[in-house]
Homo-oligomer: A and B are copies of this chain.
Amino acid sequence: MIKDEDFISSQEVPGPSKEEIRCLVLCKSQVSANDLVVDIGCGTGGITTEMAKRAKKVIAIDKNSKAIDLTKQNIKKHNVDEKVDLIKNDGISALKSIESMDIAIIGGSGSKDELDEILELAISKLNPNGRIVITAILINTKLDAVEKLKQKNLNPEIIEVNVSRGHILQRGIMMKAENPISIIYGKI
């Protein structure tokens, strides 16, 4: 895994996802070398970069041009730029232009309606044996994502992850908490 600080980042763009969350997203997605991955809302490019190291190809989508720019820098820095296509567009429009995928990654946010349409579209384009993974920091997103996957018979699972990281000081080890994140995932 790449360390958080080894991504080029900016206060204007969310991410990168913390290393432990990236790690768990990789595991839950069951990514392998033949997979086409679509990362909807790529932000800083943390998950896009990690996926590109393991998958066949990644399509990274973000409507924010600064996010696309940062992702571009990070895939270049980590030598996976040849495996990534960047699309500067909103998730819904971008998904409409994609034919199919093995893995959809969604950094949940936006409105309920928007999430709903993104999930609907992404699921409709999953290949047989396709997988979808949503990371959520809003309680609303957790619930909406599980409901949608249930409705689509994807047999969703959800975990909530609280990670604290140790700071090893002279006088002892102090743990500092990362914000809790939920990962919701399902499979065709």
A contact set with B: CB distance below 8 Å: 1, 19-20, 23-24, 26-28, 30, 109-111, 137-143, 146, 150, 156-166, 168-169, 171-180
Contact status A177-B177, CB under 8 Å: yes
Contact status B172-A138, CB under 8 Å: yes
* A26 / chain B contacts, CB cutoff of 8 Å: 23, 27
* A146 / chain B contacts, CB cutoff of 8 Å: 139, 166, 168, 173
Selected contact of A27 from candidates B1, B168, B178, B179, CB within 8 Å: B1
User: What CA separation (Å) do A27 and B3 show in the bound complex?
Assistant: 11
* A137 / chain B contacts, CB cutoff of 8 Å: 174-175
Contact status A139-B172, CB under 8 Å: yes
* A176 / chain B contacts, CB cutoff of 8 Å: 179
Contact status A159-B20, CB under 8 Å: yes
Q: How many copies does the complex hold?
A: 4
Contacts known (A1-B27, A163-B161, A177-B177); A172 close to B140, Cβ less than 8 A: yes
Selected contact of A23 from candidates B23, B109, B111, CB within 8 Å: B23
Selected contact of A166 from candidates B109, B160, B166, B173, CB within 8 Å: B160
Contacts known (A1-B30, A159-B20); A173 close to B139, Cβ less than 8 A: yes
Given A138-B173, A146-B166, output 17 extra A-B contacts at Cβ < 8 Å: A1-B28, A20-B27, A26-B27, A110-B171, A137-B174, A137-B175, A138-B171, A139-B142, A139-B143, A139-B146, A142-B173, A146-B173, A157-B168, A158-B168, A160-B180, A176-B179, A177-B180
Contacts known (A139-B143, A143-B140, A143-B143); A165 close to B159, Cβ less than 8 A: yes
